Structure 1
Amino acid sequence: MKHDMKVEERYFSEDINSLKAYDEGFGTAYDNGGSYVLTIQLSKLNELCPRKTLNKQMYQRLVTFLYEKGITLRILSRKRDKSIEEETEGN
């Protein structure tokens, strides 16, 4: 079941505010409707936007909502995304 975007925006309001405070580019893109890619460690995302358990699946609804807004949220896990993590740190 897909929810209305306004409902999703209210549901994720605390997460959005935390991500805006963490990354200025994210905030600008979110407020102005621009596209943006935010790559973040799962552990850091959990500090900013806590969930009951620490795994990527707990953030899937947030990822989907942000994608609809033109923002790609890439969540890196140390165990699964070692090569991606090294690639982003090298740039």
Structure 2
Amino acid sequence: MSKSVQDVGWGQLKTMLDYKCAHAGIVFKEFDEAYTTQSCSSCGSLPESRPKGIAGLVIREWACSGCGVTHDRDINAAQNILVLGHGRLAVIIPVL
């Protein structure tokens, strides 16, 4: 087997989402989520203060050395993915 069961399941989910969205007239896009936890969702930079590598996984909050905004890692990634999905420049998105 060249792919793991998890990869096959993920691929099937994406295929089904693509099909269902096309049927409903909704646009379905895939984005590379690389660096979404490390990029500042406020200024868009990759600051030196960002969490990096495996050791950075334990860092839940970090402050951007470029603009000074403090980020929760998961919320920051979600905001960056939202910006990619909307196809617009990064702006500060209020956290609810």
TMscore range, shorter length: under 0.3
Higher-helix-fraction structure: 1
Q: Which has the larger radius of gyration?
A: 2
Could you state the TM-score of these two structures normalised by the residue count of structure 2? 0.24
Higher-strand-fraction structure: 1
